[in-house]
Amino acid sequence: NFFDIVFAVLSRKTTQLQKNAKRNDRKRNDAKPRNCNKLNFQNRASGLKEEMTRLRMLREGGRTLASSSLKKSD
């Protein structure tokens, strides 16, 4: 199946990236820049999650709920 092939390639790529990241961490003792990138990624991911929930609430007609959650986060 085409999707099986795509999934296999993607999963292989992610494991390669993880291995490279571990190797780079071992190479340099100070992993500060990498931690920064990790934090940025986590912040982006959580922001995306919040945006998704906000859109879902808007779609379900909970407009007051969505706007109140927006005000809370500011």
Chain segment 6-43, per-residue pLDDT in tens = 888 888 888 888 888 877 777 665 555 555 666 666 66
Domain ranges of the chain: 30-74
Q: What is the pTM of this model?
A: 0.30
pLDDT score, position 7:
83
Residue linked to tokens 């390639």:
9
Pairwise pLDDT comparison (65 vs 42), residue with the higher score: 42
Pairwise pLDDT comparison (62 vs 41), residue with the higher score: 41
* CA-to-CA separations, 53 to 24, 34, 39, in angstroms, rounded: 35, 29, 21
Instruction: Work out the pLDDT band at 74, boundaries 50, 70, 90.
Output: very low
Q: At what angle do helices 32-59 and 2-27 cross, to 10 degrees?
A: 140
